[in-house]
Amino acid sequence: NAGVTQTPKFQVLKTGQSMTLQCAQDMNHEYMSWYRQDPGMGLRLIHYSVGAGITDQGEVPNGYNVSRSTTEDFPLRLLLAAPSQTSVYFCASRRQGHTGELFFGEGSRLTVL
Amino acid sequence: GIQVEQSPPDLILQEGANSTLRCNFSDSVNNLQWFHQNPWGQLINLFYIPSGTKQNGRLSATTVATERYSLLYISSSQTTDSGVYFCAVELGDYKLSFGAGTTVTVRA
């Protein structure tokens, strides 16, 4: 049981490039989310999804796109990378509803030059 | 949105000491979790505790939902307890909000 798997673990981009951070979970969780973590600021919610075909914005959605075509996968897309998007990104999932534990992937460290 | 405040921001402990971390939140919540982020960056679930008291080994947590706070107790601290402890809460809007964390350093 792999849990929540994120790829890649490290990535360096140039300003203006695009890329996709992949997230997959094998726990049949309906809820999935993306967070970014910056020094001294805790984790901030970017986007979330409560099921296949349903996504919504979190606290800091600008510059990011998401889609949810399957229960298992929830990719995060950066269309025009900017230095302000240099951060560590975490994907997380939990069962359906508002309760229950949130389980995190190991994170993806992104640097935009 | 909901405000989450953690205290203290930093804590230095001698191995074997006990400590209490606090999480205050600004509204009624239906979800509260404590996480430990280890020095390698991994986020590990400690407790799912929207109310009541739970214990897991040397760690325990209490949430008093009516007074909008939660406490995490670390007893007989070990160097492996070092890292950042986060409290996260949710109003029921699918948006789990994190506090800024308490950085714990346990010295041998």
Confidence of residue A1 (pLDDT cuts 50, 70, 90): low
Q: A67 CB contacts (<8 Å, ≥6 apart)?
A: A55, A75, A77
Closest-approach residue (CA) in chain A for B31:
A99
Greater model confidence, A90 or A99: A90
3-state secondary structure chain A: CCCEEEECCEEEECCCCCEEEEEEECCCCCEEEEEEECCCCCEEEEEEEEECCEEEECCCCCCEEECCCCCCECCEEECCCCHHHCEEEEEEEECCCCCCCCEECCCEEEEEC
- More confident call, A95 vs B5: B5
Share of chain B above pLDDT 90, in %: 87
Which of B45, B50, B101 lies at the smallest CB-CB distance from A42?
Answer: B101
A74 in Cβ contact with A104 (< 8 Å): no
Q: What span, in angstroms and rounded, lies between the C-alpha atoms of A16 and B4?
A: 34
User: Does the pLDDT at position A2 exceed 90?
Assistant: no
* CB of A105 closer than 8 Å to CB of A89: no
A106 to chain B, any CB pair closer than 8 A? The answer is yes
Residue A45 at interface with chain B, using a CB cutoff of 8 Å? yes
Q: What average pLDDT does the segment B29-56 reach?
A: 94
Distance in Å, alpha carbon of B108 to nearest chain A alpha carbon: 25
Does the structure show a pLDDT above 90 at B29?
A: no
Is B33 in contact with A102 (Cβ distance < 8 A)? yes
The reply to whether B57 touches chain A by the CB within 8 Å rule is no
Amino acid at A81: A
Find all residues with CB under 8 Å of B17, minimum gap 6, and list them: B76, B77, B106
Q: Say if residue B39's pLDDT is above 80.
A: yes
Token digits of residue B93:
């809007």
Chain CA centroid to CA B7, Å: 9
For residue A31, the number of C-alpha atoms closer than 13 Å in the C-beta half-sphere is 17
Please give the Cα distance from A56 to A47 (Å, whole number).
6
| CA A42 to mean position of chain CA atoms | 15
Is B86 within 8 Å of chain A by CB? yes
- Quote the CA–CA distance of B107 and B17 in Å, as a whole number: 10
Q: What is the pLDDT of residues A23-38, one digit of tens each?
A: 999 999 999 999 999 9
The amino acid at B38: N
Task: Name every chain A residue with its beta carbon within 8 A of the beta carbon of B95.
Answer: 45, 48, 58-59
- Looking at the predicted structure, is the pLDDT value of residue A59 above 80? yes
* Three-class SS state of B69: strand
Helix (H, G, I), strand (E, B) or coil at B68: coil
A99·B50 Cβ contact <8 A: yes
Q: pLDDT digit string (tens) for B80-107? A: 999 999 999 998 788 899 999 999 999 9
